[in-house]
Amino acid sequence: MKYLTLIAAMIATTSAFAADELDILANSEQLSSEMMSVSRGGEYELKLDNLYASSEMNGDVAGNAAYNNTTGDNLIDAGSLSNSSGVFNIVQNTGNNVLIQNATVVNLTLK
């Protein structure tokens, strides 16, 4: 019941916020051409002079032991990345007791 109350409170808060944003609709059923012309997508532009993105990883490998282990080769063959799209990375490991930490930071500017 506690979760249901929380969800109801969130919906009520969101609805009140949305009502304030859409207050221009309260006085008329139809928006004027002038109002529509200034309310198009791309109206708001966020200009950033400085962009900071980082990733911090603090891994630790301690107290491990590996005896008489066989490690293999890593191979990225022609076609291994065929049909790939988007942002991706490849991490390979041929050792034992290895800590691999990997991060990708992507900054997008959509216009």
Q: What is the pLDDT of residues 59-94, one digit of tens each?
A: 998 988 889 888 888 888 888 888 888 888 888 888
Q: Specify if 90 maps to a domain.
A: no
Residue 5 confidence class, pLDDT cut points 50, 70, 90: very low
In a domain, 11, yes or no: yes
Structural domain includes residue 94: no
Q: Write the DSSP assignment of 46-67 as a string of letters.
A: ---S-------------S----
Q: Does any domain span residue 17?
A: yes
**What value does the mean pLDDT take over residues 9-34?**
59
Q: Which of 42, 15, 36 is nearest to 24 (CA)?
A: 36
Domain total of the chain? 1
Q: pTM for the complete prediction? A: 0.41
- Residue 91: inside a domain, yes or no? no
Q: Which residue has the higher pLDDT, 5 or 110?
A: 110
Q: Length of the chain, please? A: 111
Return the sign of the alpha-carbon dihedral for residues 16, 18, 24, 29: negative
- With contact defined as beta carbons under 8 Å apart, do 57 and 103 qualify? yes
The answer to the question of residue 6 being in a domain is yes
Task: Note whether residue 22 is domain-resident.
Answer: yes
CA distances from 27 to 22, 36, 38 (A): 10, 15, 18
Average pLDDT of every residue of the chain: 73
21 phi, psi to nearest 5 deg: -65, -35
> H helices then E strands: how many in the chain?
2, 0
pLDDT at residue 27 in the model: 61
Domain-located, residue 45: no
Q: Which domain holds residue 31?
A: 2-38
